[in-house]
A and B are shown apart, each in its own frame.
Chain A
Amino acid sequence: MADLKISNVKKAYDGKPVLHGVDLSIPDSHFAVIVGPSGCGKSTLLRMIAGLEDITSGEIAIGGVVMNDIEPSDRGCAMVFQNYALYPHMSVRQNIAYPLRLAGVPVAERNVRVEQAAKILNLTDYLDRRPAQLSGGQRQRVAMGRAIVREPDVFLFDEPLSNLDALLRVQMRIEIKKLHKRLNATSIFVTHDQVEAMTLADTLIVMNGGRVEQIGSPTEIYREPASAFVAGFMGAPAMNLLPATVGADGQILLDAPGNPQGLARCALPEGSPVTLGIRPENVVLAETSGAGLPATVDLVEELGGSRVAYCNVAGHEMSVVLPASDDPLEGKPVWLTLPNQDLHLFDRISGRRLEADMTTGDKLAKREVETVA
């Protein structure tokens, strides 16, 4: 059993706090992915788990054993670095065998295990080359090989695919997923890439500014983002987030100079500042006047299979995903409908999702949202 438990872990560099108390619990053999903007402390957290960074306060336990004061090599973790971090002066074989050599594994067994790892990773033909003689993808596989020969309890990946080109990245992503299915070791994977995060994760952890914003399955996080930050961060193109205010009888009014636009109703007190969220693929665009918000199309991006229209709605930008078509839209007036069931509501001050926060009555805000004719 190698579940991972992180309790109120904080990190400060020279008194400057970087992590403000992280709590996490990852069950055995889960694949957890940490995402977040640059500088939010993802690598720091991962390196603390690995033992490469001191823990300022809090506790990290693997398989029930507190690891705070245990050497990196004795934690049962293997790490795959972004820049591969292979030993340049050793052959692929020596690179993969190095942890075994250090652990005092006899030569015969060492060879068997290296060959095995090489076979799993398709490296058999490259065993006698130096890292410099390999492509990026092959180097990445060597780094993985060096991690798997140790048969660790926990795999740590720090953006392992970000130096690869788009195609190879997809391939390696699939290989990592397969490898996880096969080895079933608890894995923690740090990435910037949304698709990687969504496809690899059993558990997705969204971090921001040294805090965990939300933990959940990828679909949970996509469907019910816990904060405006998560809503805007997960999904491409990003969710539209529009400033709005609750008016009389709970009507949500889009903030716009002159004429506030009524959008929906909710059970919030009048005057509450909120952020209204809707994913670009949920907005319905009509070219004939009628129901909906009047808008003009500023720009259309062709994506091949679909396209994204960037519309101006009373001074706010809104993106809309549309099916591919040759219909020229740029500069045209359009009408946008925001279906109620797809609306997300966030507190504009705290950024938190408005749902559980609702205290007015037993019904939740989202269920209360009604169309304003």
Chain B
Amino acid sequence: MTTEALRAPRIATRPLRRISEKSGLDTAAGHVLMVLLSIFCLFPVYWMLASSLRPANAMFETSLVPTSMSLDNYTQAIDAIPIARMLINTLVFSVLSTVFQLLTGIIAAFAFARWKFRFDKLVYTAIALTWLVPFQVVMIPNYLLIAQMGLLDSVAALILPNLAAALAILLLAQAMRGFPREVIEAARMDGARNWRILWEVLVPNLRGTIASLAILIFISSWNEYFWPLLLSRTAENSVIQIGIQMFMTAEGNQWGPLMAASTLASLPVLLIYIVLQRQVVQSFMKSGIR
């Protein structure tokens, strides 16, 4: 027994080292590929920023760095549309959508992951199917409902259909099912009932999943265009994506203000992503426990 135990690690290290030598080359190649991909992804973003700083007469310049810079586009954009108001609307819409989708998702996922009830599989499948139904199918009924409620042209109407979403429920249910059953049972024996098990045991340990889900929901809400387009009547009650679109007119596109507005629209997302990303990495590292 003891001799075996002593021998085992020596045998195990040899192939391991070989793997790491080989992967040295692989990682170098991987890095090159990733750098190329990053440039590919980041270039349009850079071009947007660069163009937003070019004066109107230099808009179609192809130099990588603008030869002359001005903030004219920004002042024009701010004058043309109520950009601050729109950004606030978008923020309210995105934050509330995220918060509510997470809340409803967490609670529904707990029910699916922890309880057996009549037709539970059926309900779960039905929820999964709603995810596959294209927006175009539900937009007319949703629109009519909102109209009947007298909520057209309001931020509340934007949020209403986004209070719950299949993606959040499915993802969280999956994560909760993967959580060690024994830890939940230990909590039960310690005297925690469902509500506490959910908020004091499950949720703190699913921070990674919740944070990445929050980013996903937030960004997709921020980028929501079609639904606001359908509901909005006035710029004051609309979101920034609609605002950007206002620079694309029948008489031609106002590229400068459009790029400026786009840049302003991307800043909050970037900021939130940076903040939450730290949280994601952190919680992924912490959850390497078990």
Residue positions of B touching A, CB distance < 8 A: 1, 5, 180, 182-183, 185-192, 196, 201, 204-205, 286-290
- A50 in the interface, Cβ–Cβ < 8 Å? yes
Are B183 and A72 neighbours in the complex by a CB distance under 8 Å? no
Supply 9 further A-B pairs (C-beta < 8 A) apart from A52-B189, A72-B188, A79-B186.
A52-B185, A83-B180, A85-B182, A87-B186, A87-B201, A88-B287, A98-B190, A99-B189, A165-B5
Of B188, B204, B286, most buried by chain A (CB within 10 Å of CB) is: B188
Are A83 and B286 neighbours in the complex by a CB distance under 8 Å? no
- Pick the contact of A81: B1, B186, B196, B204 (CB < 8 A): B186
Residue of chain A at shortest CB distance from B179? A88
Q: Is the interface of B mostly helix, strand, loop or mixed?
A: helix
Task: Report, as a range, how many residues of chain A touch the other chain.
Answer: 20 to 34
Are B191 and A73 neighbours in the complex by a CB distance under 8 Å? yes
Of residues 318 through 366 on chain A, the ones whose CB sits less than 8 Å from some CB of chain B are none
- Give Cα A50 to B188, complex, Å: 10
Are B186 and A85 neighbours in the complex by a CB distance under 8 Å? yes
10 A-B residue contacts at CB 8 Å? A72-B185, A72-B189, A86-B183, A87-B183, A88-B286, A89-B286, A102-B192, A130-B289, A146-B190, A166-B1
A contact residues around B205 at 8 Å (CB): 87-89
Residue of chain A at shortest CB distance from B182? A85
- Give Cα A88 to B204, complex, Å: 9
Given A102-B196, A132-B289, are A85 and B191 also a contact pair (CB < 8 Å)?
A: no
- A373 in the interface, Cβ–Cβ < 8 Å? no
**0 or 1 for each of A95-120: is its CB under 8 Å from B? (1 = yes):** 00011001100000000000000000
**0 or 1 for each of A53-78: is its CB under 8 Å from B? (1 = yes):** 00000000000000000001100011
- Give Cα A266 to B70, complex, Å: 111
B contact residues around A73 at 8 Å (CB): 188-192
- By Cβ-Cβ distance, the 10 closest A-B pairs, closest first, are A73-B191, A88-B289, A85-B182, A99-B190, A102-B191, A132-B289, A85-B186, A89-B204, A81-B182, A85-B183
A contact residues around B204 at 8 Å (CB): 89
A contact residues around B192 at 8 Å (CB): 73, 98, 102
Residue of chain B at shortest CB distance from A88? B289
Q: How far is the CB of A157 from chain B (nearest CB, A)?
A: 13
Q: How far is the CB of A90 from chain B (nearest CB, A)?
A: 8
Given A89-B204, A130-B289, are A99 and B191 also a contact pair (CB < 8 Å)?
A: yes
- Give Cα A232 to B239, complex, Å: 76
